[in-house]
Amino acid sequence: MMKQLPKNIYYSFPVQLFILHFRKYQVLLLFWYLLFSTVDSGFMKTFGADALFFAPEYLGSVNMFGALITGTALGVYVMSWNITTFILQSKRFRFLATTSNPFLKYCINNAILPLIFLVFYFTKLYHFNQYRELMTVSEILTEMSGILGGVIIVVILSFGYFFGAEKTIARTMAPIIANPQLFNKRFTGRVMKPDDFGLKVRYYLNANCSIRKVRSVHHYRQDFVDTIFKRHHLAAIASILLAFLFLITVGFFLDNKVFELPAAASILVFFSLMVALIGALSYFLQSWSLPAAIILVFVLNFLYKKEIIDPRNKAYGLNYSNKDQRPVYNKRSLQELCTPEKIAADKTRMLTILDKWKARQKQAKPLM
């Protein structure tokens, strides 16, 4: 029994998933690397990127709400990672199609990397806030609880959505499964071969984190298993679209300070969108995803060069399309605008403004 233990651990679902992330779609790991490096005070340290995660500001101060929003954004990123990798990797673990709540089981077994990051993040956060921000232990624990609470809220909401999707899938598939004639008519594909099983997995963690042995799916028909996965994938894609629409809606209210997210939360939301976008390209384009990405870069570069896409800020009322009528922007043209007469007039005008301001002050030396 003890001789089999190392093999059983190696061929467990969490370990195989963790290894698979380094074998397939490594570009998704880039965002984890950036997060680990930032929290480790490596990536963009000179710009204070680590402080954005350790002391998230909201409404001008570091508080519980800022930590909660940052934790929510971290939860969104983790769930985006889970959803994207579930869509891309679940076909290699076909036994999931025969279990209840396959996405929940996938997330539990895919928790190694998020848990490592969370522990690493909290360790660095505690050290930074204690020695750099001079926070008390209670203040640090309050911030940690806010971040953890935000993550938990997103996870609960996500699983609530997928539980509903699971019930819908089960309700639509139950009449077909219960009727052998209808099942044989609907699913006419071949029975799965041993090679179709995907990666070798012996054990996985169940919903209550108990260890369960993987059941064989050799007797299932290929198209039946594919149908189950496709329906779960559609539910996952729908959740990403809903989250994207929610972000667009929030964007309309950014003029209100209440909707100004902490910088760390904005970074995490951006990473979430990038993970989902890369996952969508990989899922729909398959082996063409890399050539498509390269073509997309060249197309965007061309559009930027031709100023068809121009993100620069423009003054209202000015015509930017006619380049021939634009004033020359160089040192000589600027010097022509700054004549001694204009400088003297500008100085006199500003002194008049300051004199009027001084006349309204009640103190000889007012507070500036």
Which one, of 6, 5, 15, 55, lies nearest residue 201 by Cα?
15
Whole-number Å distance between alpha carbons of 101 and 164: 10
pLDDT tens per residue, the chain (368 residues)?
566 777 777 878 888 888 888 888 788 888 889 989 989 888 888 888 888 888 888 877 878 888 888 898 898 899 888 888 888 787 777 777 677 777 788 888 888 899 999 999 999 999 988 888 888 888 889 888 999 999 898 888 887 877 776 666 656 665 555 556 655 555 565 555 554 445 677 777 887 777 778 776 665 556 556 666 666 666 667 777 777 777 777 767 767 777 778 888 888 888 888 888 887 777 777 767 777 778 888 888 888 887 777 777 777 777 777 777 777 888 888 888 888 888 889 999 999 999 888 888 877 777 66
pTM of this prediction exceeds 0.85: no
Helix, strand, coil % over all residues of the chain, rounded to 5: 70, 5, 25
Q: Tokens 């190696």 correspond to what residue?
A: 10
Strands 203-205 and 211-213: antiparallel
DSSP, residue by residue, 217-278:
-TTSBHHHHHHHHHHHHHHHHHHHHHHHHHHHHHHTTTTSGGG---HHHHHHHHHHHHHHHH
* Residue 339 belongs to a domain: no
* Residue 209 belongs to a domain: yes
Residue 176 neighbours by CB distance under 10 Å: 15
Whole-number Å distance between alpha carbons of 262 and 278: 25
* Residue 227 belongs to a domain: yes
* Residue 212 belongs to a domain: yes
Residue 234 backbone dihedrals phi, psi, to 5 degrees:
-65, -40
* Residue 353 belongs to a domain: no
* Residue 317 belongs to a domain: no
The identity of residue 105, as a single letter, is K
pLDDT tens for each residue of 252-309: 776 777 777 888 888 888 888 888 888 777 777 776 777 777 888 888 888 888 777 7
* Residue 185 belongs to a domain: yes
The identity of residue 347, as a single letter, is K
Which one, of 70, 76, 93, lies nearest residue 21 by Cα?
93
The number of angstroms, rounded, from the C-alpha of 186 to the middle of its chain's C-alpha atoms is 38
Q: Which two tokens stand for residue 319?
A: 């015509």
Report the DSSP beta bridge partners of residue 93.
198
DSSP, residue by residue, 204-219:
EE-TTS-EEEPPP-TT
DSSP, residue by residue, 18-70:
HHHHHHS-GGGHHHHHHHHHHHTT-TTGGGTHHHHHHS-EETTEE-HHHHHHH
* Residue 361 belongs to a domain: no
Q: Which two tokens stand for residue 150?
A: 């935000």
Tell me the residue range of the domain where 126 lies: 4-305
Rounded to 5°, the CA angle 163-168-172 comes to 145
- The domain tally of the chain equals 1
